[in-house]
Amino acid sequence: MQLKWIRARQLRNKSTDAERRLWYFLCREQLAGHKFRRQYPLAGYIVDFVCMPARLVIELDGGQHLDALAYDGRRTATLEREGYRLLRFWNDDVLLRTQDVLAEVFRVLEERSKA
């Protein structure tokens, strides 16, 4: 378990442009007071972003994920079995259509808050 925390710290220190951009909006509870963590160990994986109370995971995908579809599928299934909703966005969507991405995240947060 300790290795996951060390790896998570390394990933936080080497964030992609898309991760930094989304984190700017997710940190400091800017989305209706919802608190997110980034590069957080969860269910045997390290997720890009998670809102624990809403049980919402956000993953950002670059081109390398085209070669990892089976792995991503297993990862998604594991997180969903643990009760998490997973949202995936392409890096380009975060960088070029930030407001659309934030609107979808907010919509799902509101949906999960009512459930």
Sequence spans of domains, the chain: 2-114
47-59 mean pLDDT: 96
Q: For 58-62, 82-86, 97-101, which range has the lowest pLDDT when averaged over its residues?
A: 58-62
| Res 1 pLDDT > 60 | no
Q: Could you tell me which residues come within 8 angstroms of residue 37 by beta carbon, excluding any fewer than 6 positions away?
A: 49, 50, 51, 52
Please give the Cα distance from 98 to 80 (Å, whole number): 25
CATH code of 2-114, in short, is: 3.40.960.10
pTM of the model: 0.87
